[in-house]
Structure 1
């Protein structure tokens, strides 16, 4: 087992800053999942969680996994918390970081 915990990050795409070319600056992670359109079907959420749990348990394992939804307050946070519980059940130390859960809802014009 690694001595550093796996870091599980939730974020909101609408809260990300942009670079000089107008592209969003994504959180640093070994794997980033965009769930803005993907989670309309509960079976898709289970499949994604199964896949991410297996990925986290790989022998050379990732150091950071990030999940983003539109605002980073609901879907991404819930998935990260569920993933944290699943990896803990496999004996993997993990910590959660919710980058945008405290921010207000973004209203697009």
Structure 2
């Protein structure tokens, strides 16, 4: 079943919606509204993981890496609560109601959001 999974952060427009499962190569940036707050992406489910998962960038050895790197994915996956969230997102993506668009966001978009996106895409 097709599913769009993207990671995002506030600032600039999102990439166009592709038809099948997509792992965006870089963080998408959200446009901001008149009050300066980010406009949420058009998605069936939006997960802002800033408060849910601690920032793995505290692990100094991954600062220069992104979510495509297996080391970052390992650190993210071993963050308390990440496995449960990943299982929940995978179950949601597999619902029979049709294609799902899931947006996963965090502060910088390089570690938590992109790492979860890559793990979910598997």
TM interval, shorter chain, is 0.5 to 0.7
Counterpart position of 1:68 = 105
Please say if residues 10 and 32 of structure 2, whose CA atoms lie closer than 8 Å, have aligned partners that are also in contact.
no
> d(CA) in 1 for partners of 2:40 and 2:115?
19
Residue segments in structure 1 that go unaligned for 5+ positions in a row: 86-109
Q: Tell me the TM-score normalized by structure 1.
A: 0.66
From 40, 57, 75, the counterpart of 1:26: 40
Please say if residues 31 and 66 of structure 1, whose CA atoms lie closer than 8 Å, have aligned partners that are also in contact.
yes
Counterpart position of 2:7 = 10
**Cα 1:44–1:61, aligned 2, differ >3 Å: closer, same or farther?**
farther
Once superposed, which parts of structure 1, at least 4 consecutive aligned residues long, lie more than 4 Å away?
none
Please say if residues 9 and 65 of structure 1, whose CA atoms lie closer than 8 Å, have aligned partners that are also in contact.
yes
Counterpart position of 1:107 = none
Counterpart position of 2:68 = none
CA drift of 1:61 comes to 3.8
Q: Tell me the TM-score normalized by structure 2.
A: 0.60
**Cα 1:35–1:51, aligned 2, differ >3 Å: closer, same or farther?**
same
Matched, 1:58 2:55: no
User: Which digits, 9 at most, give the CA deviation of each residue in 1:14-73, with x for residues without a partner?
Assistant: 653311132211211100000112113723000000100111111104421000010111
Matched, 1:44 2:81: yes
Relative contact order (C-alpha < 8 Å, sep 6+): which is higher?
1
Residue segments in structure 2 that go unaligned for 5+ positions in a row: 12-28, 55-77
Give the alignment's Cα RMSD to 1 decimal: 1.8
